[in-house]
Amino acid sequence: MSKPKLPGMIAGVEKAIAEKYGPETIVNPKQFWTPEKEQLYKEQEKVREAKRAKNPVGEVEQNGVLISEKLINRTHKNECPRCERYTLLARDEIYFAKYDCCFRCYIEHIEDR
């Protein structure tokens, strides 16, 4: 069994891609990059950095880890007010929303009423 010639195979693949999707798909994008485009990109990057500096996202240290304030402001109801158990079950989320308790407390206290 002979090994296929890699350069010939690559050229064949490129030719097939160019035929199917057009010649611009196999062109190296670096050839279109000019010094003017580089300067424009650097100016846009400066504007983005200025916006980030103007509206900084605060970070808070919690248990030795830096956490974004956006994440801390979110409140999730994961602790049952009746039995004070912490749960992450999706089933309990439904009962928290509807009955203000976890599934276990619903079965024990509310369903038998």
Q: Where are the domains of the chain?
A: 8-54, 76-110
3-state SS class at 86: strand
Mean pLDDT of the chain: 81
Residue 20 has pLDDT above 60, yes or no: yes
pLDDT, one tens digit per residue, over 52-92 is 777 666 777 777 777 777 666 555 567 787 887 887 777 87
CA distance 109 to 74: 29
CB 44 within 8 A of CB 63: no
Instruction: Give residue 29's pLDDT.
Output: 85
Q: What is the pLDDT of residue 84?
A: 79
Asked whether the beta carbons of 80 and 87 are under 8 A apart, the reply is yes
Task: Render pLDDT for 46-61 as a digit per residue (tens, 0 to 9).
Answer: 998 888 777 666 777 7
Report pLDDT for 3: 61
84: left (phi over 0), alpha (psi -120 to 50) or beta: left
Q: Which residue has the tokens 């999706």?
A: 90
